[in-house]
Amino acid sequence: MHILITGGAGFIGTHLTRALLERGDRVSVLDNLSTGSIENIQAFAHHPLYSFAIADINNALVLDRLTSQADAIVHLAAAVGVQLVVERPTETIETNVLGTHAVLTTAERYRCRMLIASTSEVYGKGFKIPFAEDDDLLLGPSSRSRWSYAASKLLDEFLGLAAHREYGLPVTVMRFFNTVGPGQTGRYGMVIPRFVRAALQGEPIPVYGDGEQSRCFCHVRDTVRAIVKLLDIPDQTAGQVYNIGSDQEVTIRQLAQTVIERTDARSTIQYIPYSEAYAPGFEDMRRRVPDISKVRRTIGWQPKHDLNQILDDVIEFERARL
């Protein structure tokens, strides 16, 4: 199979590229390197089944050429990270919505199978735990830019599912829940690499708010396994939305403590009010736990790595970089 990965020089895209090449697929990557990195893809540069184009997904000529050669598209290109979203909401909305529209339009032209990466952020302030794919969604007010990312990704979902219903395009939506692992940058507020780097350098670990907000972290290798399985069965998964993540819940305070223990660091936890970390009026989701029963039933997938394994992999990676 020939797979086009938009945003393929980013964190998830790099791991997905490796998995697809290892099983013999041909991979083309389209990335403007705004958040991705040449360093991430250097290992594939001379692979006979790999090609890379530095371009924006709104570059119609490049996107058309790459899509015409592909059997399927995994659309990962997006604005990522809470910090980026809060500081540059206009860029977030335009990148996500206009980019997805461009990819969908081109995919329709060539009847190309498409997987769209979405996010647990779309559940917003939902209080029914765990979050299931058909639950009602509740976002905050438009006056708070923090919700622009969730709204833009939700619109991406609507666009993709509408293309399936109206034009029969085989589109599947994947809602990722805090995908983490070696190679993830901490530049955009990603919590685990920031915590691990601080601990390895003996610095205080910055926890925003009271630390009692909880998340479920999924190893990127587990996320990639799910993507590949969904790619392989378009007939059963087209027009569907799937949660992809771990259902092991941990508070951010507990996460910081575990990082200190597993790095054997002398770091302390430094609590920082949201008003100092982000713009005034920032709102956080207190809990974010996925119901993964649907994806388990459909493709027999569930995470294999627990939190300690995730942290150990990240710690090993970050130590090698010091």
Predicted confidence (pLDDT) per residue in 112-150, tens digit = 999 999 999 999 998 899 999 999 999 999 888 788 889
Residue 108 confidence class, pLDDT cut points 50, 70, 90: very high
The number of angstroms, rounded, from the C-alpha of 244 to the middle of its chain's C-alpha atoms is 10
Q: Is 127 among the domain residues?
A: yes
Q: Is 295 among the domain residues?
A: yes
pLDDT (0 to 100) of residue 146: 80
pLDDT (0 to 100) of residue 179: 96
pTM of the complete model beyond 0.75: yes
Q: Is 108 among the domain residues?
A: yes
Q: Is 128 among the domain residues?
A: yes
pLDDT tens digits for 65-81?
999 999 999 999 987 76
CATH number of the domain enclosing 108: 3.40.50.720
Residues 241-259 have a mean pLDDT of 97
312 has a pLDDT exceeding 80: yes
What mean pLDDT, rounded, does the chain reach?
93
Instruction: List the catalytic residue out of 50, 110, 123, 149.
Output: 149
89-98, 133-142, 215-224: the lowest-pLDDT one: 89-98
Q: Is 97 among the domain residues?
A: yes
Q: Is 316 among the domain residues?
A: no
Which residue range is the domain that position 66 belongs to? 2-179+220-245+290-303
Q: Is 191 among the domain residues?
A: no
Report for 78-92, 143-157, 253-267: range of highest mean pLDDT: 253-267
Q: Is 198 among the domain residues?
A: no
81-90, 96-105, 165-174, 259-268: the lowest-pLDDT one: 81-90
- E-strand stretches of the chain: 2-6, 26-31, 50-54, 72-75, 113-119, 171-176, 179-180, 205-208, 214-216, 218-219, 241-244, 249-251, 269-272
> Is 149 one of the catalytic residues?
yes
- The count of domains in the chain is 1
pLDDT tens digits for 235-245?
899 999 999 99
